[in-house]
Amino acid sequence: MSPPQATASADEWDRTLQSASPAEVVAVALRLVGRDQLALVSSFGTEAAALLKVMADVDTAIPVLFLDTGWMFEETLAYRDQLIATLGLRDVRTIRPAADALAAHDSDGDLWSSDPDSCCRIRKVEPLAQALSPFAAWINGRKRFQGGLRAAIPVVETDGDKLKFNPFANVEPDEIRLIYASANLPPHPLVASGFASVGCMPCTTRTSPDEDPRAGRWRGRAKTECGIHKSAS
């Protein structure tokens, strides 16, 4: 199949890239909008190094946005710095929530307990929307095997007026492990102590081997996503 024109829709690009490798998806995104208009959003979580490695092999200067919510594990912040050095990432930008929003809505720092959706909105959704405003497209690391709302994600979709690329949509856990092993990537420091998926400290717990890896996120609540992946389209 010949590639669509640059003006093609997300659906057309999604059909074209259904069988593409993650590196090919990143390369297409870069070619479509250019480095200045493309960002990769990374949590620097337990599987983040795989996508960052794929991106770095394409272009180490693609901007990487990291949301420091104020509730990140110290181990995650250290892992971010380690991966920047290991992969030679040249443009990692740490995004933080607005001080006035925290003062107005979470001055005591306990909103995560009483209203986690609002906490995520203030600390993640709104800061990321602001940080992404200059970009035409963004890349993230969701996978279908993670299940839930992620089970049917496309490779390319729209997010408001932006293109959103999911290079790992089709990958399987063994492929993630292979990327780590072949590149000798360091694991997230919390993996060894039972954290299969890592987000904000108050809303992340360890998981047992027989649980879904994301079972430790917002444990005991119906909530499964922070909100940054709810398309505005």
Question: pLDDT for 35-73, tens place per residue?
Answer: 999 999 999 999 999 999 999 999 999 999 999 999 999
CA distances from 16 to 21, 32, 95, 163 (A): 12, 14, 33, 15
What's the pLDDT tens digit per position in 138-194?
999 998 888 777 777 999 999 989 999 999 999 999 999 999 999 999 999 999 999
Q: Among 119, 200, 203, 226, which one carries the catalytic annotation? A: 226
pLDDT at 7: 54
The answer to whether residues 124 and 135 touch, using CB atoms and an 8 Å cutoff, is no
Q: Which two tokens stand for residue 189?
A: 């420091």
What's the pLDDT tens digit per position in 90-125?
999 999 999 999 999 999 999 999 999 999 999 999
Q: Is 119 a catalytic residue?
A: no
- Structural domains of the chain in order of their starting residue, each with its CATH number: 10-216 (3.40.50.620)
